[in-house]
Amino acid sequence: MAVDATHDHANVGKDTEMDRRSFFRSAIKKGGDSVGKAVVKAADAKVKKQASRWIRPPFAIHELEFLLACSRCTDCIEACPHQVIFGLSARVGIKAAGTPAMDLLNKGCHLCADWPCVMACDTGALKRPEEETEKPEADENNSEAENGLAEPDKQKPVLPKLAIASIDENTCLPFSGPECGACLHSCPVDGALGLDRATPVIDQLLCTGCGLCRESCITEPKAITIRSAG
């Protein structure tokens, strides 16, 4: 994944960009007609292809909608306590310049419990979904439930799919013999990273692609790769 990790925000053509945003918003509103649908479909395909070059912050909405919603305010960048989020430079193109991306090649997202980057976003470009409520099963023999002492409904955490992590077996030490395990205790998601006959394995259904395993990897080059999920 090639990510432009520079932080310059030189002339990104704000007036032109605002005109473009207005145009696409109008096209989306007119999505019922064939012209509106064609415009949105073409724009969506183009930005989706471009978005494979970077990784958005947690709970970023669909890329085309994200580009329209993001105000380039840098609030999410400043809110990240681990300095993982940066602003894309003008070299990526006028549409994405100044929008936030994550540097998961060098740092991992800590999946903060309070999601400060998401909470800092006032435009809805980063939007946390409704939490799913996991209710305990009824048990006729449960005296606590009968006495009203049972625990309240527990919130099942909803985690974002940030990126795709994979292990390079040619670089990862356990695949060639030496024991390692440097990455195992770095994973914040239960079951996402485990061992299969002493070699690490990633469960893609559970893995968020946060990159903390890559950050903790001791080999050079890193034995864990991170790429855009788009």
User: What's the pLDDT score for residue 16?
Assistant: 43
137 located within any domain: no
Supply angle C-alpha 187, 188, 191, rounded to 5: 70
| CATH number of the CATH domain containing 180 | 3.30.70.20
28 located within any domain: yes
102 located within any domain: yes
197 located within any domain: yes
221 located within any domain: yes
74 located within any domain: yes
Q: Residue 155 corresponds to which amino acid?
A: Q
Total structural domains within the chain: 2
- Rounded to whole angstroms, the Cα distance separating 21 from 13 reads 12
DSSP symbols for the chain: -------------HHHHHHHHHHHHHHHHTTTSHHHHHHHHHHHHHHHHHGGGS-PPTTB--HHHHHHH-----HHHHH-TT--EEEPPGGG-TTTTT-EEE-TTTS-----TT-HHHHT-SSSSB-PPPPEEEPPPP-TT-HHHHTT-SPPPEEEPP----EEEEE-TTT-GGGTS----TTGGG--STTTEEEETTEEEE-TTT-----HHHHH--SSS-SEEEEE--
- Give this prediction's pTM: 0.74
Q: What is the mean pLDDT of residues 113-139?
A: 79
Same-domain status, 188 and 113: no
Q: What is the mean pLDDT of residues 192-218?
A: 96
- Rounded to whole angstroms, the Cα distance separating 57 from 82 reads 13
Same-domain status, 115 and 29: yes
Q: Which of 77-86, 87-96, 124-133, 149-158 has the lowest mean pLDDT?
A: 149-158
Same-domain status, 188 and 111: no
Instruction: Identify which has the larger pLDDT, 31 or 227.
Output: 227
Same-domain status, 111 and 175: no
136 located within any domain: no
Chain segment 33-61, per-residue pLDDT in tens = 665 566 667 666 667 777 889 999 999 99
User: What's the pLDDT score for residue 130?
Assistant: 74
User: What's the pLDDT score for residue 29?
Assistant: 55
User: What's the pLDDT score for residue 34?
Assistant: 63
Same-domain status, 32 and 100: yes
Q: Is 226 exposed, middle or buried (0-12, 13-18, 19+ CB in 10 A)?
A: buried
Same-domain status, 37 and 103: yes
Same-domain status, 167 and 103: no
Whether residue 51 contacts residue 228, with contact meaning beta carbons closer than 8 Å, is answered with: yes
Q: What is the mean pLDDT of residues 108-124?
A: 97
66 located within any domain: yes
Examine the fold and report which residue of 91, 119, 147 is the final residue of a domain before the chain moves on. 119
User: What's the pLDDT score for residue 230?
Assistant: 75
Examine the fold and report which residue of 64, 86, 119 is the final residue of a domain before the chain moves on. 119
User: What's the pLDDT score for residue 132?
Assistant: 46
User: What's the pLDDT score for residue 86?
Assistant: 98
User: What's the pLDDT score for residue 182?
Assistant: 94
Chain segment 136-159, per-residue pLDDT in tens = 454 555 555 455 554 555 566 789
Q: Which structural domain range is residue 56 located in?
A: 14-119
Examine the fold and report which residue of 119, 151, 174 is the final residue of a domain before the chain moves on. 119
Q: Express as a percent the part of the chain with pLDDT over 70.
A: 69
pLDDT band at 7; cut points 50, 70, 90: very low
Over the chain, what is the mean pLDDT?
Answer: 81
- Rounded to whole angstroms, the Cα distance separating 15 from 116 reads 30
Q: Measure CA of the first residue to CA of the last residue in the chain; give whole Å.
A: 11
